[in-house]
Structure 1
Amino acid sequence: MCTAINFLNQQHENVFGRTMDFHYILDPRLAVFPAGSTWENTLGRQLTDRYAVAGISRHFKNLYVLFDGVNEKGLAGGALYFKGYADFPPFSQQSGKAQVPALDFLHYVLGLCASLDDLRELLADITLVGLQDKLTGTVAPLHWIFTDLSGKSLVVEQIKQGLNAYENAVGVLTNSPDFPWQMTNLRSYIGAAPEQTEQADWGGFRMEPFGQAAGTSVLPGGYTPPARFVRTAFQKLHMVQPETMQEAVIAGFHILEGVTLPNGVVKTANGTFDYTQYTSMIDLPNKVYYFKTYENPQIIRVDLKPVWASGEQTVRDLGSIHVPIRYGTME
């Protein structure tokens, strides 16, 4: 489970954010990859980033698996679960295209592409392949959302019928079913509106609403991927557009709070619980990462520009994103 969004403020500046909902303890860390740095992919091969990259990741010895991230050109993206629909062919020595393990795809794109246009060209030259990840021991069923400085958004899904890239007019992604289904399902909620329903007349029987928000009563309230997609799209597309970047970041956190999972409300088949381990927001034009964790709701801010400008060409692990709470006081 997970939910991702992107939107523009009034200055036409783009922000990208996501919740990370999972039942395995991820121990996420913020990793920085300067331009020209080399990293090891899931196949054990050494790859070099054309552009500086930073992302929240899981670290396995020499392998960093990015969950979300951004590069120096303002291209950002996130990987989300796509169970029951993702279908990756196995790695083959005879393939004529570059084979990219699904777990590495986000980093691969951010390291090589400056924009969504670059990404579209890249997709024609690669094959996404499935390899077991070291956390779950399975081939992670993933799909991806990407956005750049333009504010446009692209969803990438590998299904049994092939690799697809979809223009994302609403700037929202959750999980299964596939993205075209989610967009079609939005039409079921065409009656939802921020305006108040004043009254209704059923054959002479008049009814008054209990209070405000009657226009939103048709919205789904659960935590399923379709429910989160609809609810998030409605909130994002009807909110008052933030004026500044600071307002946009805060607005993004507020929207994602509407689909945040408390630990215990979504139980998996093996008895564990999906919950929102962290929520992140990225200021694309200014290259600033914001995040908060389940244990610490205070927002942490990391300016990536000075880290990338250090002149180093080695991967830097900035540490766990689990930062101790420091309470503010009033006297």
Structure 2
Amino acid sequence: MCTSITLLNAQGENFFGRTMDFSYDIEPELYVLPRNYVWNGACGGQRMHNLYAIIGVGQEDGPLMAFYDGVNEKGFAAASLYFAGYAAYETKPMPGKMPVASMDFLHYMLANCTSVEDVEKLVSQVSIIGVPDPVTNTAAPLHWIATDRSGKSVVVERTEQGTRVYPNPIGVMANSPEFPWHMTNLKTYAQVSPRQATENQWGNLTLKPFGQGAGTSLLPGGYTSPERFARAAYLKTHLPVPQTKEETVMSCFHVMESVSIPKGAVISNRETFDYTRYTVFLNTKTCEYYFKTYENSQIHMASMWENYRDGESRIRLGRLSRPVQFGKVTVV
């Protein structure tokens, strides 16, 4: 379970972010990878080479490191979200194609793409192989959303029908089912509006709305993927256009509050809580990362360029988890 959106502000800056909703324990960290960084892929340990510098959130396990979300120096950004019941990976590479593990595909895109236009070509050159990851010990079912500085977005899905790259005109993604289904399902909410509903006459009975917000009464309130997709799409498309960077950051996090999952609201079949462990937004122009966690709602920021240095090693900026500090108010 996860939700992702893009958001353009009045200055033409494209922000991109996601909630990380998960029922497995993870310890996400921020990393900066320099240009020309070399890493081990999970498909037989092949050596991979990054063309571009990257800042992203991920997790290490021995020689392997998987990204959950990130942006590169060219402003190309992407995230991986769960796609249970629909993802179907290849078991061996097709002739003439580069084998890339499902858990590595996000990193591979960030390493090689400068825009969403590059994604279609890259997908045609690789075989996405299902490889168990160290968190779930399975080939986690994933699909991917990508965007760039223009604000354009695409979705990549690998199913039994093959690998598809879908234009994403609304800049929203959640989980199952396939992306085209979600876009069709939005027609269900064609009557949802920020405007106030008027009174209606049923015979001799006059029905008046309870008050403000009656135009949104058809919006779904649950935490399923279709419900979260619809809420995020509605809120994103009805926001006033943010004027400044600061206003954009706050607008992004406000939208995600509507799809964030508290502990106890959803329990997995393994009897674990499925909840929003962290929320991040990044500025594709400046490569600044804004984040908060379930345990600490204060928004922190990390800049790729303030922490960047050339070299062969990845730069660790630490875990997203930070000590809680309350600002004190005193007499002026």
Q: What is the match of residue 221 of structure 1?
A: 221
The whole-number CA distance in structure 1 between the counterparts of 2:62 and 2:84 is: 27
Does 2:50 match 1:49?
A: yes
Deviations 1:128-161 (A, max 9, x none): 1111111111111000000000001000000101
Residue 12 of structure 1 corresponds to 12
Distance 1:245 1:120 in 2: 31
1:266, distance to aligned residue in structure 2 (A): 0.2
Amino acid at match of 1:288: E
Please say if residues 38 and 315 of structure 1, whose CA atoms lie closer than 8 Å, have aligned partners that are also in contact: no
Q: How far did residue 76 of structure 1 move? A: 0.5
| Partner SS, residue 103 of structure 1 | helix
Between the aligned partners of 1:131 and 1:91, the Cα distance in structure 2 is 11
Identify the residue that residue 28 of structure 1 maps to in structure 2. Answer: 28
Structure 1 Cα separation of the partners of residues 41 and 128 of structure 2 = 13
Q: Which amino acid aligns with 1:64?
A: M
Does the 8 Å CA contact 2:4/2:19 hold for their aligned counterparts?
yes
* AA partner of residue 14 (structure 1): N
> Which whole-Å CA distance do the structure 1 matches of 2:234 and 2:298 have between them?
26
Task: Name the structure 2 match of 1:123.
Answer: 123
Q: What is the CA-CA distance between 1:120 and the residue it aligns to?
A: 1.8
Corresponding position of 2:207: 207
For residue 273 of structure 1, give the secondary structure of its aligned residue in structure 2.
coil
Residue 319 (structure 1) shift: 1.3
Counterpart of 2:72 in structure 1 is: 71
Matches within 5 A, 1:1-331: 1-43=1-43, 44-92=45-93, 95-308=95-308, 310-331=309-330
- Preserved CA contact (<8 Å) 1:70 1:284: yes
CA displacement 1:248-295 (0-9 Å, x = unmatched): 111000000101000111011111110000000001101100100000
Q: Take 2:92 and 2:326, find their aligned partners in 1: how far apart are those partners?
A: 50
**Structure 1 residue identity aligned to 2:60:** H
Structure 1 consecutive aligned stretches of length 4 or more whose deviation exceeds 6 Å: none
Q: Tell me if structure 1 keeps the 8 A contact 2:55–2:287.
A: no
Matches of 1:214 and 1:70, distance apart in 2? 39
Structure 2 CA distance for aligned equivalents of residues 167 and 311 of structure 1: 35
Alpha-carbon offset, residue 124 of structure 1: 1.4
Q: How much has 1:185 moved relative to structure 2?
A: 0.4
Q: Quick one: percent identity of the two aligned structures?
A: 45
RMSD: 1.0
Residue type at the aligned position of 1:177? P
Question: Does structure 1 conserve the Cα–Cα contact (< 8 Å) formed by 2:54 and 2:304?
Answer: no
Counterparts of 1:127 and 1:204 in 2: how far apart (Å)? 66
- Aligned-partner Cα distance in 2 for 1:117–1:108: 15
Q: Cα offset for 1:42?
A: 1.1
Q: Which residues of structure 2 form unaligned runs of 5+?
A: none
Q: What displacement does 1:126 show?
A: 1.1
TM normalised by structure 2 equals 0.97
Task: Tell me the SS of whatever aligns to 1:166.
Answer: strand
3-state SS, counterpart of residue 267 of structure 1: coil
1:11-50 Cα distance to aligned partner (Å, 9 max, x none)? 1110001000001111101111100111112122221100
Contact 1:30–1:57 (CA under 8 A) maintained in structure 2: yes
**SS, match of residue 100 in structure 1:** strand
Write the distance in 2 (CA, Å) between the matches of 1:72 and 1:313: 17
For 2:252 and 2:312, the matched residues in 1 are separated by: 32
> Shift of the alpha carbon at 1:202?
2.0
Structure 1 residue 313, shift from structure 2 partner = 3.1
**Structure 1: gaps spanning 5 or more residues:** none
Do the aligned residues in 1 keep the contact of 2:196 with 2:213 (CA within 8 Å)?
yes
Amino acid across the alignment from 1:221: G
CA distance in 2, matches of 1:208, 1:198: 7
How far apart are the structure 2 equivalents of 1:41 and 1:320?
Answer: 23
